[in-house]
Amino acid sequence: MKTNVYVLYGGKSAEHEVSLKSASAIINALDREKFNVYPIYITKEGVWCSLGLLEKEIKNVEELQVESSQKVAHSIGRFLIETLKVGEKNIIFPALHGTHGEDGTVQGLLELIDVPYVGNGVLSSAAGIDKVIMKNIFEKHKLPQTKYLPIKLHRWKEDEEKTIKEIEEKLRYPYYVKPANLGSSVGINRVENREELNKAIEEAFLYDTKIIIEEEMIAREMQISVIGNDYPKASLPGEFIMERPFFDYNAKYIDGKIIPVVPARLKPEVTEQVRALAVKAFKALDCRGLARVDIFVTDEDELFINEVNTMPGFTALSMTPVLWKATDGTTYSELIEKLIELAFERYEQKKSLLWTRCTK
């Protein structure tokens, strides 16, 4: 019997369009001899829309979008009753990025309905999407990282001048200003002075009620893919050559002017240190399945963790499949199947646990 794979994509997120690109690639990579593929489009309003069993190849992301006037709760109920095949081998692949998908909310729902799913669980997803919580965890584990300062919206509104002064006292320009709970470089700006800082803070607060200010790190940024459950493994590191001062949304998904270098140009011993640090970060967040870890390497070969992405992109420009191809020859389709295997492994492990008090 084939496994039914339900690919969730879109979502109520600023990364909605990125998710469409990831989903189309994942759907096309799934072997139809092994899997029945059911695309589940989540609109920008949060409505779940099933496209039914899909056998053709997706040539354009517009094919994956539909309109619906349903209510959110009703649409989820309809998916559970009419689309999810009871009594068959099912798995959910959440190809969702950012809020309402990568932040533990969908993962919590999938835990409640007791269906195996690809990727990280509730805790690691929630901690990984929140840059402040993530950095606090790294600090607890004594992992090296850049200096940072979290700012909450209510504090900013109460006294903007005082907040700016505190930032300038604790951190040195230039800074990166980021929404705490977002990815794909949405709402992120590099600033060199107070005027730019004010504008960047206002923009970041459009996307979140909590933001983070980070000191700029003069270094090259490495991207490392980590996959596994109890025994995670890190890929070779890769990096991008960029024309822009930082890797923003346009550079990632629109301009097409980035050049990947895989494996990254590092000394062999530094490569191994980077891979080891990536695994430490993966374990610190209690990740499962996969993650992409971004690590800075200075000219003096010092290492600093930037962040962990618990559901990295799977677009044509995404590093994750490219890194594993370079590391051990794993193809895109093989990587997708490996992630599905890891999801079932974790699910079976959890199913073996007791959910009621042992009376022996």
Distance of CA 264 to the CA centre of its chain: 21
Residue ranges per domain, the chain? 3-117, 147-215, 220-349
Each residue's pLDDT tens digit, 88-121 = 999 999 999 988 999 999 999 999 999 999 999 9
pLDDT tens by residue, 5-15: 999 999 998 88
More confident residue, 244 or 321: 321
In the CATH scheme, what is the homologous superfamily, with its name and number, of domain 147-215? ATP-grasp fold, A domain (3.30.1490.20)
Is 239 a residue of the active site? Answer: no
- Does pTM top 0.85 for this prediction? yes
Please report the pLDDT score of residue 320 as a whole number: 95
192-198: average pLDDT:
96
SS3 for 282?
Answer: helix
pLDDT tens per residue across span 207-252 = 899 999 999 999 999 999 999 999 999 999 999 886 555 555 455 5
Residues in binding site = 294, 307, 309
**Structure confidence at residue 302 as a pLDDT band (50, 70, 90):** very high
88 has catalytic annotation? no
pLDDT tens sequence across 30-78: 999 999 999 999 999 999 999 999 999 999 999 999 988 899 999 999 9
User: Which amino acid appears at position 146 of this protein?
Assistant: T
Q: What is the mean pLDDT of the chain?
A: 92
Q: List CB contacts of 42: < 8 A, sequence separation 6 or more.
A: 8, 9, 10, 11, 12, 48, 49, 96, 100, 101
Band the pLDDT of 354: cuts 50, 70, 90: confident
Enter the CATH code of domain 220-349. Answer: 3.30.470.20
**Residue among 13, 19, 125, 184 flagged as catalytic:** 184
Give the span between the Cα atoms of 338 and 324, in whole angstroms. 11
User: In the annotation, is 68 catalytic?
Assistant: no
The reply to whether CATH 3.40.190.10 applies to domain 3-117 is: no
At 222, the amino acid letter reads M
Residues making up the binding site for Mg(2+)? 294, 307, 309
